[in-house]
Chains A and B, each alone.
Chain A
Amino acid sequence: MSRTRFLSTLLAVTMVLAAATGVGAAETFKVGVVGPRTGPVATYGLSVINAVTLAVEELNAAGGVLGRQIELIVEDNKADATETNNAFRKLISRDQVHAIIGAVVTANSIVGAQVAQMMKVPMITPTSTAEKVTQEGDYIFRSCLIDPVQGRIMANFAYNSLEVREIACLTAQSNDYSVGLEEVFTKTFEELGGKVVASESYSEGDQDFKAQLTKIRAKKPEAIYVPGYYTEAGLIARQMRQLGMDLPILGPDGFDSPKLFEIGGDAVFGSYFTNHYSVETEDEVSLRFVDSYRAKFGHDPDGFGALGYDAALILFDAIERAGDAALAKNVATARVAIRDALAGTKNINVVTGTLTLDENRNPIKSAVILKVVDGGYEFVERIDP
């Protein structure tokens, strides 16, 4: 009996507290961040979450936006689709956020975008590059370049700068990101006059790539394009060396992680990948970002961090431009106002350059090619799409 009473009291207290938090919500802008803090691609999520946290702290210290502070709610989705769905629903229904930054990997962002679009909450994915994500609807934005741009840039770089004519591709068959990049790369490379001599695939989680690599070796390509993540890329690089294949490996932004070096060792040196930004920069916003990130976290930010920071800057800019409409008591009204302002993002200075969102809510900005060398990345060139 007393136990039941205790439970009901507890329930009542919880409800009062929840209501109190609800009232408090009017005083801040609530922003959710969704990304993997754990899991096979945890470094991506950690970079994004760190950078967004940094952006929010800086903004709040400078007085917030429209006189209000930003309240950040971080959700770990473990790079899992079901967890992403739960995180988005929790942020939207329970926390009543104004906007969401996330998810990080493409397959998760597609799931998140479906929820955000259905519930009409503006979402900015900092790092998901597949075209499909923003095609989910008019509430979905992004701060990174899309796959066609990355694939196209790498194909151009391989053909024009490295003067490669025959290339092989090794793709993760069950991964939207990987398959999307491979398609555009192959198409562009062949339009330029090059030839894809071998196109092999693997499943995510595979550890042994020697069979595919031996098959590729027989076709004698001059380079190999591996659109995938750092864990597989590291293993592939190692096993290539073990098979005596001394070719440059070309990759996408998925290579951007310190773990690439841990897993791949010196086999990854000499690889090239497309990325969104380089720490070797002279731009004012980038320099300030790199300095404060280093000061707070003790290491250089990677491309994922830069994109996360950009997503936050884009969002703050939109809230400011939305003005009074974003201050609406009804969170649904405020969300619409923020969405409309996001759609009008134009020429804003962010870490990865000057950014404008096009009519498909994708950014127009330049990309960089980085070379993997002992101790880090070397800036090779900046390419406008």
Chain B
Amino acid sequence: MVELTQEIIQQLVNGISLGSIYALIALGYTMVYGIIKLINFAHGDIYMIGAFTGFFAITILNLPFLPALFVAMVVAALLGVIIERLAYRPLRNSTRIAALITAIGVSFLIQNIALLAWKPDPRAFPDVFPFRSYQVWGIYLDNRQLVILGVALLLMVILHYVVHYTRIGRAMRAVALDDEAARLMGIDVDRVISITFAIGSALAAAAGVLVGIYYNRIDPMMGVMPGLKAFVAAVLGGIGVIPGAMLGGLVMGVAEVMVVAILESTWKDAVAFAILIIILLVKPAGLLGRQTREKV
């Protein structure tokens, strides 16, 4: 009985740690969607670029962990702004579907450039972060899992604060509500959207570096599956709602692990996407979303 309880708790820990990775990626996804109503499918690839930038900052520039993380976030933020400027801004007044398809195109473009430049070979991420393992009542935890969960929670709080209690946040919400009216009120809509992309992309890069360190392996296709899962997590929590991304990510992670624990490992990915379909049928606005509620 004790062992069974321990096993269940260990699986919960595994699930939360996996879920906090999804949450970390989903935060940027949901923020960009909340402001400009664009599902940025390139988000998973910016996450990959972030991981590689961090990798090169550590291996070539010999930077320690925090400066490398910072470099990765800055590079990704710039990339996000450039992508928005070149690919999304010209389509600002086109149909939503045109922007969506462009986002898919950008995603493939980044993946294939990365494949060409860095080869599909997986690389081992250097051990810049001392590994410590803890054992509490037979449950194994390590500092990396805690860091990922902590960073995800911290970023959620900061984002929530930025969006709700700062000038730029107020401008973001105004743009989200009605960009024409915001422009008439003197808000520089283009600048607000650029900043939104910069923040979203920097978040993705932070996730990329942390996950690179956590699994110790990066490759150019690493953003595809986590990107999709994070998207599901964002929708599950209510896309555009920042705490929703956190909740959605954790629910997804725990659900996946529990499928393995109780049913069969084979069904893991199928269940993730089944959750998406069920949520869209039953509660299209997501767990924390309300149909009428102002997003973000």
Contacts and interface: CB of A to CB of B under 8 A. Distances in A.
| A and B found bound together | yes
Nearest to A202: B265
B219 A40 contact: yes
Interface string B138-158: 001010000000000000000
Given A218-B3, A235-B217, A212 B265 contact: yes
A259 B221 CA distance: 18
B121 A38 contact: yes
Contacts of A339: none
Interface string B167-207: 00000000000000000000000000000000000000000
Contacts of A42: 119-121
Contacts, number: 86
Contacts of A215: 7, 11, 260-261
Given A201-B266, A243-B10, A265-B127, A40 B133 contact: no
A259 B265 contact: no
Contacts of A358: none
Contact of B121 (A39, A173, A211, A212): A39
A228 to B, nearest CB: 13
A82 interface: no
B216 A235 contact: yes
A382 interface: no
Interface in A301-347: none
B7 to A, nearest CB: 5
A217 B219 CA distance: 29
B124 A214 contact: no
Interface string A9-47: 000000000000000000000000000001110100000
A207 B217 contact: yes
A233 B95 CA distance: 46
B35 interface: no
Contacts of A205: 221, 225
B34 interface: no
B15 A259 contact: no
Q: Which of B122, B123, B257 has the most CB of A within 10 A?
A: B122
Given A40-B121, A78-B120, A211-B265, A263 B217 contact: yes
A201 B140 CA distance: 22
A262 B216 CA distance: 9
B265 A244 contact: no
Nearest to B122: A231
A200 interface: yes
B215 A211 contact: no
B216 A200 contact: no
B119 A218 contact: no
Contacts of B123: 262
A120 B32 CA distance: 57
A203 interface: yes
A214 B216 contact: no
A244 B216 CA distance: 18
B226 to A, nearest CB: 9
Contact of A214 (B133, B217, B261, B266): B261
Interface in B238-269: 256-257, 260-261, 264-266, 268-269
B261 A211 contact: yes
B27 interface: no
Contact of B260 (A211, A217, A242): A211
Q: Which of B7, B127, B265, B269 has the most CB of A within 10 A?
A: B265
A195 interface: no
A243 B140 contact: yes
A234 interface: yes
Contacts of A259: 122, 124
Given A212-B260, A235-B216, A201 B265 contact: yes
Contacts of A39: 120-121
Q: Which of A205, A211, A215, A218 has the most CB of B within 10 A?
A: A211
Given A39-B121, A265-B216, A244 B135 contact: yes
Nearest to B17: A210
Interface string B2-39: 01100100110011011000000000000000000000
Contact of B216 (A78, A202, A208, A263): A263
Contacts of A202: 265
A210 B14 contact: yes
Contacts of B133: 242, 244
B265 A173 contact: yes
Nearest to B124: A262
B135 A200 contact: no
A173 B119 contact: no
B121 A214 contact: no
Contacts of A210: 14, 17-18, 257
Given A211-B257, A211-B260, A218-B7, 18 more contacts: A40-B121, A42-B119, A42-B120, A42-B121, A210-B14, A210-B17, A211-B11, A211-B256, A214-B14, A218-B3, A235-B215, A235-B216, A235-B217, A242-B142, A244-B133, A259-B122, A263-B216, A263-B217
23 contacts: A38-B120, A38-B121, A40-B120, A40-B219, A42-B119, A42-B120, A42-B121, A205-B221, A208-B18, A208-B215, A212-B260, A214-B10, A214-B14, A214-B261, A215-B7, A218-B3, A218-B4, A234-B124, A243-B10, A259-B124, A262-B123, A262-B124, A265-B216
For the complex of A and B, 5 pairs with smallest distance between CB atoms: A211-B260, A262-B124, A210-B14, A211-B257, A207-B215
Interface of B: 3-4, 7, 10-11, 14-15, 17-18, 119-124, 127, 133, 135, 140, 142, 215-217, 219, 221-222, 225, 256-257, 260-261, 264-266, 268-269
